[in-house]
Amino acid sequence: MFLQLKNTTIGYKTPLLKEVNTSLALGEICLLIGNNGVGKTTLIKTILNQTDLLKGEVLLNGIKTEMLSSKEMAEQVAVVFSKSQIPANYTLRDLISFGKYIHYPYYFELKESDQQEVEEIIESLNLSQYRDFQLSQLSDGNLQKAFIGRALAQNSPMIILDEPTTHLDEENKIIILKLLRNLAKTQNKLILFSSHDWRLAKEFADKIWLISNEKLHAGITEEILLNHNELLNPNIFHFNEGFVAPQIFAPELHTEMLYSFLQKNFKTDLSAVKFTFTEPFWEISNNHIQYKCDSFEEIAEFLRNLH
Ligand SMILES: Nc1ncnc2c1ncn2[C@@H]1O[C@H](COP(=O)(O)OP(=O)(O)OP(=O)(O)O)[C@@H](O)[C@H]1O
């Protein structure tokens, strides 16, 4: 296991997360989730040895992180912070090249093989046409890719990203998440990333680390979701408190859409109403009344007349 947490307690004066025992292997991609302020960034900083542990150990590649110099740490882990400062007057190629400088003093010329590698990273991220752009001229999506490129140039086995999809539109979020999963699978990188877009991000993650109630719940994505009903339970979106869902017999997407429509528009208990979707109609039954609707507008009208 590349990253190991052993009886780890993290926090500041008071603990945020207690007695964690878990690990991650190379080739895995893990999503770190939890409400604002539960300690995601603190956990990341603790792994990076930027914040002191309160108790226990963190091991990277079998070595306690507190034993690693900052250079040795950089050889093991590359980091992309969401609030990364944009260095002024540098091009995209410069930024990605910076990843190589963990290996040399800053005044060194990069070796030809390093320059070649930087070019390959630029190509692999589909950024060739922006190679010589100033960073301030890049779109948010491409800038985020460039920061990931810098992390790749560092050649470390693990990459940690703090909210890599913040500020991106849906299309760019998916591009970044696909890219991260590809890196884990094709280059055997261990990727740990936090995200508030976790409903989307979970589609790309092998594992989830969920922080709640000062505990870290770690496991295979789908298993964590199954065991933490509160994450997927649509009740959390309920706009109307008094709404109780009807029985719905329909394909998954139709069920979801009907549920979504009803919970926004009705405050009532619909548990006695049964909806069955038989293309192209919704058959509705309620206390021996049968009705057929072919649009959500008609369904709304039917239900309004019912109550
Ligand atoms: N240097 C510090 N000293 C003391 N307390 C801190 C320090 N940094 C953060 N905290 C507190 O620790 C708690 C966890 O903060 P952290 O940034 O780790 O949460 P987070 O889960 O990343 O939150 P968010 O989702 O909002 O980014 C917060 O209550 C924060 O105020």
pLDDT averages per 10-residue partition of the chain, 307 residues: 97 95 97 93 95 96 94 93 76 92 70 90 92 92 91 94 88 89 94 89 92 94 85 66 90 90 91 94 92 94 87
Give the pLDDT confidence of 121-153 residue by residue, as tens digits: 999 888 999 999 999 999 988 998 999 999 999
Are 161 and 191 in contact by the 8 Å Cβ rule? The answer is: yes
Are 240 and 266 in contact by the 8 Å Cβ rule? The answer is: yes
Contacts of 305 (CB under 8 A, 6+ apart): none
* pLDDT value of position 234: 60
* pLDDT value of position 266: 92
* pLDDT value of position 46: 96
Strand 281-286 versus strand 289-293 pairing type? antiparallel
Alpha-carbon distance of 301 to 62, in angstroms, equals 65
Contacts of 129 (CB under 8 A, 6+ apart): none
User: What ligand 1 atom has the least distance to the C-alpha of 38?
Assistant: 21
b/e per residue, 164-183, with b = 16+ CB within 10 A?
Answer: bbeebeeebbbbbbebbbeb
* pLDDT value of position 171: 86
Q: What's the CA-to-centroid distance between 12 and ligand 1, angstroms? A: 9
CB count within 10 Å of CB 224 equals 20
* pLDDT value of position 240: 76
ipTM above 0.90, yes or no: yes
Task: Look at ligand 1, atom 3, and give the residue with the nearest C-alpha.
Answer: 12
Task: Look at ligand 1, atom 5, and give the residue with the nearest C-alpha.
Answer: 12
* pLDDT value of position 237: 60
Q: What's the CA-to-centroid distance between 52 and ligand 1, angstroms? A: 14
Task: Look at ligand 1, atom 1, and give the residue with the nearest C-alpha.
Answer: 12
* pLDDT value of position 233: 64
* pLDDT value of position 181: 94
Task: Look at ligand 1, atom 28, and give the residue with the nearest C-alpha.
Answer: 37
Identity of the residue numbered 40: K
The sheet with strand 55-60 has its strands ordered as: 15-24, 3-11, 55-60, 63-64
Task: Look at ligand 1, atom 16, and give the residue with the nearest C-alpha.
Answer: 39
Q: What is the pTM of this model?
A: 0.82
The sheet with strand 289-293 has its strands ordered as: 247-249, 274-278, 281-286, 289-293
Domain ranges in the chain are 3-232, 234-306
Q: Give ligand 1 pocket residues (Cβ under 6 A).
A: 12, 16, 34, 36-42
Tell me the fold of 3-232: Rossmann fold (3.40.50)
Q: What's the CA-to-centroid distance between 112 and ligand 1, angstroms? A: 42
* pLDDT value of position 109: 74
Which of 41, 47, 192, 213, when mutated, tests ligand 1's pocket best, judged by the most ligand atoms within 8 Å of its CB? 41
* pLDDT value of position 166: 84
